[in-house]
Structure 1
Amino acid sequence: MADDPSVVALVIEARDGSQLAWNAIVDRYAPLVWAIGRRHDLGRPDIDDVGQSVWLKLVEHLADIRDPAALPGWIATTTRNECLRVLRTSRSREQAEHKAEPETYAEGGYAEIEQELERVQRQAALRSAFRELRPRCQELLSQLFKEQRPAYREISATLGMKIGSIGPSRERCLSELRRCPALATLIEGEGAGAPREARRR
């Protein structure tokens, strides 16, 4: 996956003392921490403990991360280590060692975490791109992609649009969304990776 430029910007701003940037980092990657904790069969209290440790370590070491784009991987690795720490302190040594065996974890574990990381990055890129849209497009797409999408006549009444213009407007807004830098970088990165996958097959 291509580096997300918004991650780089957040890391730089957080290093400079921006509380908003720090909050955005935590909000963006908390689902990744949770997913890794669940992968280790931890309950909510233990995952909360892991999360607190991960964010504390990030505060301590944020300036040491030489490549800001490497932040997601750093968080994933630190979270795995913290999960194993919790297992060692809450279970017998035999159980902890069994859980920590590389062979056991390699059987799909790393792949699942990589998939979760990619999902988090896609969602972050989509949210970032959505915020760059014109307000009118944000309103229309928010209506169209609700879990229970309203009928076109309801959207027409809510937004003051002609029913016949909703479809064309949607396509223009989606095209605008795809051109937003955050999402365009993601799309280009995934497109560049496709031929390599094909060659491996």
Structure 2
Amino acid sequence: MAITAVIFDAFGTTLRIGTRTHPYRQLLREGAMQGRRPLPGDLHHLMKANISLREAADTLGIWTSPARMAEIEGALAREIDSIALYPETLEAISELQGHGIAIAVCSNLAAPYGPAVKALMPKHTAFALSYELGVTKPDPFLYMKACHELGVIPGKPEEEAPRVVMVGDSPKCDRDGLWRWGSGVFTLIAGA
């Protein structure tokens, strides 16, 4: 059975953040100073919403002064500007595409990171991003959407169907949703 498509996770697999400023954590700390306790689902919620950092503050009911919001937005801009591909990413994707293998990126990320991720990835890359789809990995919908964008319907190991491989760095996010889906997508966990 030949591999017809590879789905990559973004951060930690194909891309890295060089300068971590944690702008969303800064925003949540502002809320904590106002008495708003961070909730376990806050970051998860922000990765499902197609909103800016300012809109995130409004959504979470966090008020910041204009000067403080500008500082946090500056931190976000620095973090986004530091996003880079791992050195081997382009070579690996180019090699795969040269063999006719379709490429997608399936990732949990907040909306402001999306344009940078898309701009850095090679042409003909499909995307299934949490903030655009309103769900986060390990929800099987993200993997189904990535396969749909690639034009493949993966089959079970015993079937004569296209093979899709998911390459990621998180067993929970990059493997467990596939098992829930019960698809013919196989996962390679980087560093495992």
TM-score (normalizing by structure 2): 0.30
* Greater fraction strand: 2
TM-score normalised per structure 1: 0.29
| Bigger Rg, which one | 1
